[in-house]
Amino acid sequence: MGQEIQALAAPRTGQVIRAALASRARAYWTLIKSLQTGLLLFTGLAGYLSTSSEHPWGAVLGVAGSLFLAISGSTMLNMVYDRDIDAEMERTAQRPLPAGKLAWREALAVGLLVGSAGVAWAVLLSPLFGLVVFAGLFLDVAVYTVWLKRRTPWSVVWGGLSGGMPILAGRALAAGQIEPIGVMLALVVLLWIPTHIMTFSIKYAGDYAKARVPVFPNVYGEGATRRAIALSTVLAAVLMSLAAWQIGLPWGWLHATVALGAVLIALAVAGAVFPSSRLNHVLFKCASLYMLGAMALIIVGA
């Protein structure tokens, strides 16, 4: 009888273990903000593939793997540090750390391990590549999240700088140096960040005020924020078109890049002139689609 009970209990125990592991995996997948991480990873690949040099599959996988680990580790560390303000905001209260699905010490250890592994892998590919990847992690965690995010709405600039490091790193690895096109591409991401972040902060201004995190709409007003979004969007789209031209994209791909930028500019300007929550939401969604589309055009065209 005892053996029969053990035989029945074993499958159930295995199911419990598998369910627990799956739950933890989902929690960590949420912790790395998979969509944001994926978009930044895609920009890094676009930077690497934007040159006319050879791109062996092994190197492409190395770029993707190292950037994925570095960006994921950086995001986990940010989530660990921000777990207290996440608990105060309705939008983020159910994230794994404030909801108690993961222990913060465990997440801290995993974040340090994953981020360090990504930087180390990047250094093995190229010391210059590794240096730029480390700069992105440092700017994101130490400068943006720990130092400035709770002090000034201008922290978004430093967040934008860190967001531009993957594409700069990828371009530097392929070109063997940091050159003007790589810097232009990094500036595109820097100027695009306000379109992505400030539209979000308009929508959730109340949440940020509750958590005492200074954001542009609460400090300078919604109108000024929309005008800043429009200006940064125009600059980002123009610079993206110039970068695509410098890369040498065929005319068809170049025209498509310009057209995507024109659509985003039209939405941003319309949002400043005819402000509405619906238009703000559309602009937020289209900002990510624009960056994704522009990077795809660079990869295919180059």
Query: Last residue of some domain: 103, 130, 146?
Result: 146
Burial of 157 (0-12, 13-18, 19+ CB in 10 A): middle
Alpha helices per DSSP H over 126-221: 127-138, 155-175, 180-203, 205-210, 216-220
CA angle, corner 86, sides to 31 and 287, nearest 5? 65
Q: Is residue 59 part of a domain?
A: yes
Residue 7 has pLDDT above 70, yes or no: no
Nearest to 229 by CA among 207, 196, 263, 259: 196
| CATH code, domain with 301 | 1.20.120
Nearest to 69 by CA among 5, 8, 125: 125
| Residue type (1 letter), 113 | L
Count structural domains, the chain: 2
Q: Is 17 in the same domain as 142? A: yes
Task: Answer whether residue 63 is part of any domain.
Answer: yes
- Whether 61 maps to a domain, the answer reads yes
Domain residues for the domain of 111 are 13-146
The secondary structure of 217-279 as a DSSP string is HHHH-HHHHHHHHHHHHHHHHHHHHHHHHHHT--HHHHHHHHHHHHHHHHHHHHHHHS--HHH
Last residue of a domain, one of 91, 122, 146: 146
Per-residue pLDDT reduced to its tens digit, 278-291? 999 999 999 999 99
- Higher pLDDT: 16 or 190? It is 190
Maximum CA pair distance of the chain? 78
Query: What is the tens place of the pLDDT at every residue in 90-130?
Result: 999 999 999 999 999 999 999 999 999 999 999 999 999 99
Q: What is the pLDDT of residues 153-211, one digit of tens each?
A: 999 999 999 999 999 999 999 999 999 999 999 999 999 998 899 999 999 999 999 99
The structure's pTM equals 0.93
